[in-house]
A and B are shown apart, each in its own frame.
Chain A
Amino acid sequence: MTSPIREELRDVSTEARARQNWEGIRVRRSPRTKQRVAWAAISLAAVGAIASLWFVRGDSGALRTSADVVWREGVRGARVAFADGSSIDARRGELELLENERDRLRVWLRDGAATFDVTPGGARRWIVEAGSVTVEVMGTRFDVRVVEERVRVDVARGRVFVRGPTVPRGGVMLGAGESVEASVADLVAALPPRSEGPAPLASSPRARPAESEPTIPGTARDAPELQASGLDRADTLRAQGRAREAIHELVSVADDPRADRTERALAAFTAGKLLAESGDHAEAIRSFELASTLGLGEPLREDACARRAESLAALRDPRMAEAVYEYLARYPRGRHVERLRSLHE
């Protein structure tokens, strides 16, 4: 049957339109487009899964064990598996839990050895304290051992950053198959007595007053009083124009593992500012990093991030570009955006 209506109508199809559509079909059928669509779908599904987990996981976002219980206590001579696939094998050691938050998990290896298998890609930063050594990691597998007065870190997979006063150059990035060993005893032996008040600054401002016994993180005795007096003294010294002595006081508080974490962070940040002002950018960088690690609140965290980048720039350190990008990524509308951009350019 021939339709009378169709024959009365003009064509809308043109050669240009046909060509254009064929191009569109070719692009849509290309493997790269399919791959993009697949990745978009996977990303969308992943975002959905993460969002679901976020809600399901509840209030604190703390790391849960495979039994879906928030991990609240350390572990001794046992292995613990987590809901995100990570695990800690402390069958040969004693581990104490210091923090279990949405964005960080901090443990203290009190004694022996432990193997950490951290699932990559998580938002939580893992921090392992062992003696005077701190290991920071996002996703990897590594061993930490405390044997007498020495701490050894062996990385099996991924990358970790190990730092501490006795670690070579203050801090070292380890890749797969790499190890570092640091002495706890060296640190203790190098410490001048604390009770004598503000000692003259040693070659490094991180040389700090000693204790009569090795420092043990997390076992605060009369720490709050000591910190308060240290910060007060630092304030007084700053007011008197005795910047170097103030730095010494602040560094003492910042490096004291028994002290309150917030106080330590504040002390480290203030020390960083004073060090940068005095031109000691290398130490300033370390102080800002320590302050950030200890957990500064906003807006000090933003300041620390920006000031670290500035100190790196002053030293012409190639890490400066990365630091600027980090700041811009975290604070795209931050207070230091213009300054850091101009710094980078």
Chain B
Amino acid sequence: MSRFGPLAHLTQVMPARRDEPVRTISTEVDVPTLVSRALDGDRWAEEALYRRHVHELTNVVARLLGRTADVDDVIQDTFVTAFARLSTLRDTASFAGWLRRIAVSACLMRFRRRKLLRTFGLDRSSEDATLDALAHEPSPERLAELRTIDRVLARVAARDRFAWMLHHVEGLTLPETAATLEVSLATTKRAIARVEDVLSALREEGR
């Protein structure tokens, strides 16, 4: 069950002005309807779409990036881009997947920028959203395992990291992972295999 408990089917929409009441919408209004209304310039529908996806997406982005400092920028970039390109969305029911693709693309850009900054010794942010840091009361064995995974993920290429995380951490199927990364299924499998190889090697070393 969602962490929002029994109120999960409700989404609060913040008022534009202070004197306006907070509106609560039911998630029974389906996504295609909200997309359609947003395309007609309905700001309420836009905010509803944001509210419905932001929490899930924030967690995905934080885990992919491994640090919380960049999360807000990526989330804002994602939604600004999404609303600007909303008219290009063909299948309105696939809004969540489409949004995730935009977010993953923004995360890749962040990784490239991070790499550049690191080259010039300017990347000083700490990795505070690694798997071991986010783990909720893990056992010592599990914590050690997560740290090993983190070390591997920090070492591999960004696309390999994302493929492995989308599949193993976020639980996407291989086709979904491939679609999110906008690469072929074979490429996705190879990327995940590369990470697994490094992980296996490291586990062997640990024994």
A residues contacting B by CB (< 8 A) are 1-3, 5-6, 8-13, 17-22, 24-25, 28-29
Contact = CB atoms under 8 A, between A and B. Distances in A.
A312 to B, nearest CB: 49
Nearest to B76: A24
A18 B54 contact: yes
Contacts of B173: 1
B156 to A, nearest CB: 16
Contact of B54 (A3, A8, A21, A29): A21
Contacts of B51: 18
Contacts of A19: 14
B58 A13 contact: yes
Nearest to A22: B50
B152 interface: no
A29 B38 CA distance: 14
A22 B54 CA distance: 9
A134 B59 CA distance: 71
A29 B83 CA distance: 9
Interface in B88-138: 129, 131, 134-136, 138
A21 B14 contact: no
Interface string B165-190: 00011111100000000000000000
Nearest to B47: A22
B72 interface: yes
B64 to A, nearest CB: 12
A335 to B, nearest CB: 40
Contact of B136 (A3, A10, A28): A10
Interface in B48-89: 50-51, 54-56, 58-59, 62-63, 68, 71-72, 75-76, 79-80, 83-84
Contacts of B170: 3, 6
27 contacts: A1-B173, A2-B171, A3-B168, A3-B170, A3-B171, A5-B168, A5-B169, A6-B63, A9-B59, A9-B135, A10-B136, A12-B62, A12-B71, A13-B54, A17-B71, A17-B72, A18-B51, A21-B54, A21-B79, A22-B14, A22-B47, A22-B50, A24-B76, A25-B76, A28-B76, A29-B80, A29-B83
B103 to A, nearest CB: 12
Contacts of A24: 72, 76
A19 B13 CA distance: 10
Contacts of A25: 50, 76, 79-80, 83
Given A1-B172, A20-B72, 5 more contacts: A5-B131, A6-B63, A10-B135, A17-B72, A28-B76
B58 A17 contact: yes
Given A2-B171, A13-B54, A13-B55, A8 B142 contact: yes
A8 B138 contact: yes
Contacts, number: 77
Nearest to B56: A13
B3 interface: yes
Contacts of A12: 58-59, 62, 68, 71, 129, 134
A22 B55 CA distance: 12
A9 B134 contact: yes
A12 B62 CA distance: 7
Given A22-B47, A25-B76, A6 B169 contact: yes
Nearest to B55: A13
A25 B135 CA distance: 30
Most buried by A among B62, B75, B129: B75
A141 B170 CA distance: 68
A7 to B, nearest CB: 9
Nearest to B149: A5
Given A5-B168, A8-B136, A12-B59, A21 B3 contact: no
Contact of A13 (B59, B131, B136, B142): B59
Contacts of B54: 13, 18, 21-22
Most buried by A among B3, B47, B63, B171: B171
